[in-house]
Amino acid sequence: MTDTQQTKIQVRNLSKVFGDDTKKALKLRDEGLNRAQILEKTGQTLGLSNINFDVREGELLVIMGLSGSGKSTLIRCLNRLIEPTEGDIIIGGENIPQLSDKALLHCRRRHFSMVFQNFALFPHRTVQMNAEYGLEIRGIDKAERAEKARNSLKQVGLEGWEDAYPNQLSGGMQQRVGLARALANDSSVLLMDEAFSALDPLIRRDMQQELIELQHRMKKTTIFITHDLDEALNIGDRIILLRDGEIVQIGTPEEVLTRPADDYVARFTEGVDRSRVVTARRVMRPVRATARHDDGPRTVLRKMSENALDSIYVVDRERKLLGILEADSLDEAAKAGKDSIQELLVTDFPRIGPDEPLATLYPMFQGKSIPVAVIDDQQRLLGVVVKGAVLEQLAQTGEE
């Protein structure tokens, strides 16, 4: 997830008042009164207040908060299942609150599919027929919708279950059917409202992992609502934390944990195992020196001596990581008059991506002091993680 990704949805100054005197409620809001005070004075409930954020193309954005925070109201405002009181929601050049009923219907069909907490399956329809339902009401040809439904069922691991009925499936499998139905519609945005909340804890964890893997394959823009912080930290590329209808913080899971916006967020995240969320990116250090694949043993030994290194990583001209060299083997090769380091390269060593959780890093050192290499998707060396940095971060997370 990067800041250079294209924006899919823009939400600007979005507010929702539940009641029949919305102008009075918003006027009091603008004068500085909070939700509770507005309710007391007017009987109006300020469900959302001045919500501003972007949804990036292909990200999994989690909106979370406690009961009554406004998260379900927010997701339903995005596709106007709940009418916003004020503000803009822009997708594909269209401002959703300003659309006519007919234009809104077309917009929903193009852009939004929804997965609900209670599965919302038809008990008299087979798995295949449930997966086809959204396409059926859109008037898609029978053969085409059948093929799309089969493909979406395969994506969620239900190939072979097409002729089963919902009561023959476990809760997790039923939720997969709901997810397959949403995917079959091929909308540009997937809305998931507490989608896993009704599942048993073990099944819920499995579904979270399957969603992560599905997201990795499909890069579907997804907005996921939850009240569970662990779930948000596990699946989210970014998290929006709501309180009393207002955004308290927007950030990556690591940012929310390590740089809480205020005391409320800090208290909200107390007790979380930060080592599962803090990543190699946070503890990664620049590489002091590297060897080239065409260097000789004496050249490499000189580089290591100048930088006080016992081992050194070897890269090619594009900085792709080729292996690691140890001082002892280089010293022996130099004494023997060898000119090449190729046969000295060690290629069996741990290497990780920048988003590797801290919890998995420490065991990789296996009692050695060799730094762990951090590489990108093209196998290029980005930096290293040293044992001391991991220990220091683990100590900090234990104190917080």
Give the domain CATH number at 313: 3.10.580.10
More confident residue, 227 or 277: 227
- Any domain includes 181: yes
Beta bridge partners of 191: 114, 223
Start-to-end C-alpha separation, the chain: 27
Q: What is the mean pLDDT of residues 237-242?
A: 95
Position 208 confidence tier, pLDDT thresholds 50, 70, 90 = confident
Q: Which of these three, 237, 272, 307, is where a domain ends?
A: 272
Judgement on whether residues 285 and 257 belong to the same structural domain of the protein: no
CB 314 within 8 A of CB 291: yes
Same domain, 311 and 206: no
Considering the chain, what percentage of its residues have pLDDT values greater than 70? 96
Same domain? For 110 and 194 the reply is yes
Q: Does 188 share its domain with 209?
A: yes
Asked if the structure places residue 245 within a domain, the reply is yes
What are the tokens at 39?
């309710």
Residue 102 has pLDDT above 90, yes or no: yes
Does 366 lie in the same domain as 264?
Answer: no
Higher pLDDT, 227 or 361: 227
Same domain assignment for residues 340 and 375: yes
* Residue 263 CB partners (closer than 8 Å, separation 6+): none
Same domain, 90 and 169: yes
Q: Do 218 and 295 fall into the same domain?
A: no
pLDDT classification of 72: cutoffs 50, 70, 90 = very high
Place of tokens 């208290």: 267
> Looking at the structure, do residues 171 and 81 belong to the same domain, yes or no?
yes
Can you give the pLDDT at residue 86?
A: 96
CB atoms within 10 A of CB 33: 17
For residue 208, is it within any domain?
A: yes
Section 63-92 average pLDDT: 94
Same domain, 220 and 324: no
**Residue 257 structural domain:** 7-272
Tell me the pTM.
0.78
Q: What is the mean pLDDT of residues 45-69?
A: 94
Query: Are 75 and 223 contacting, i.e. CB atoms less than 8 angstroms apart?
Result: yes
Give me the CATH number covering residue 168. Answer: 3.40.50.300
Residues 375 and 243 in one domain: no
Residues 336 and 248 in one domain: no
C-alpha separations of 213 from 57, 115, 196, 368, 396 in Å: 17, 17, 16, 32, 31
Count the domains in the chain.
Answer: 2
Place of tokens 């395969």: 154
- Is residue 106's pLDDT more than 80? yes
Average pLDDT over residues 115-122: 78
Across the range 192-217, mean pLDDT stands at 84
What per-residue confidence (pLDDT) applies to 400? 47
Mean pLDDT value across residues 332-342: 87
Question: Of 250, 272, 294, which residue sits at a domain end?
Answer: 272
Judge whether 365 lies within some domain: yes
Domain boundary pick from 243, 272, 301: 272
pLDDT in tens, 383-397: 988 877 777 776 665
CA-closest candidate to residue 222, choices 179, 257, 260, 263: 179
Q: Report the 10 Å Cβ neighbour count for 148.
A: 20
In a domain, 1, yes or no: no
Is 48 contained in some domain?
A: yes
